[in-house]
Amino acid sequence: MTKTVGVKRLIQEARLPHRANETDAGLDVYAAEDKWIEAGSYETIRTGIAIELPPSTEAQIRPRSGLAHKFGITVLNSPGTIDEGYRGEIKIMLINHGKEAFQVEVGMRIAQMVIAPVLLSPIKEIQELTETPRGEGGFGSSGLRDDV
Ligand SMILES: O=c1ccn([C@H]2C[C@H](O)[C@@H](COP(=O)(O)OP(=O)(O)OP(=O)(O)O)O2)c(=O)[nH]1
Ligand SMILES: [Mg+2]
C-alpha cells in the first residue's frame, strides 16, 4: 500500500500542498484565486488541486491558527472532510470572524490538510448495547460540581 498522496494541478496557478517542516501534521494548502471576504461573511476558495488519497484515509481541512489569531479567519465547516474517493477540486470555505474585510490572494496559505486513517466499519442494527461504567452519563456527569 502506497502512502503517497497524488496531487493533480487543475489550473496553472495551483500549488501543491506543502509541509513547512518534515514532521508537521498539516500540509499547507494554497489559494488558487484572489477573493475578498467581507467581515462576517464566508467565501468558497479554489485550490486548483484534486488528490488521490491512500486507501482507508481521509484528508481533513483545518484552519491555520495564524490566520485565526491575526485576522479572525477560520474554516467554516472545520474540519472539512475530503473523502478517499473524491476526485473533484478541493475547495475551502473560509469565514471571516474579524472586523475587517480580508483579501485572499493566489498563493496564500489558507488552510492546512491532515491525512488521517479511517475505519470503514460496517454498520448493523442491534437490540441491546453492552453495559459500561459510564452507561448513559454524559454532558458533564463526571464532574464534582453542577457547573463543570
Ligand atoms: O471543505 C471541503 C469539504 C468537502 N469537499 C469535497 C470533498 C468531499 O469528499 C466532498 C463532499 O464533502 P462532504 O461529505 O463534507 O459534503 P456533503 O454535503 O456530505 O456532500 P456529499 O453528499 O457530496 O457527500 O466535497 C471539499 O472540497 N472541501
Ligand atoms: Mg458527504
91-125 pLDDT tens trace: 999 999 999 999 999 999 999 999 999 999 999 99
Which pLDDT does position 144 carry in this prediction?
A: 74
* Site to substitute for ligand 1 among 82, 95, 118, most atoms within 8 A of C-beta: 82
Does residue 16 form part of some domain? yes
Classify residue 68 by burial, with Cβ atoms within 10 Å: 0-12, 13-18, 19+. middle
Does residue 63 form part of some domain? yes
Does residue 88 form part of some domain? yes
Number of domains in the chain: 1
Does residue 125 form part of some domain? no
Average pLDDT, the chain: 96
Higher pLDDT among residues 143 and 109, named by residue: 109
Does residue 37 form part of some domain? yes
Which pLDDT does position 148 carry in this prediction?
A: 66
Does residue 40 form part of some domain? yes
Q: In this structure, what DSSP letter does residue 17 have? A: -
CA dihedral 80, 71, 25, 44 (to 10 degrees): 30
Distances (CA, A) of 34 to 44, 47, 72, 126: 11, 11, 18, 51
* Site to substitute for ligand 1 among 8, 47, 60, 81, most atoms within 8 A of C-beta: 81
Determine the structural domain holding residue 100 and report its residue range: 6-117
The pTM of the full predicted model, rounded to 2 decimals, is: 0.94
What percent of the chain stands above pLDDT 90? 95
Classify residue 100 by burial, with Cβ atoms within 10 Å: 0-12, 13-18, 19+. exposed
Which pLDDT does position 99 carry in this prediction?
A: 98
pLDDT of 25 higher than 80: yes
Does the annotation list 41 as a binding residue? no
Query: Looking at residue 64, which CATH number applies to its domain?
Result: 2.70.40.10
> What was the ipTM of the complex prediction?
0.99
Instruction: Please tell me the distance from the alpha carbon of residue 128 to that of residue 125, in angstroms, as a whole number.
Output: 9
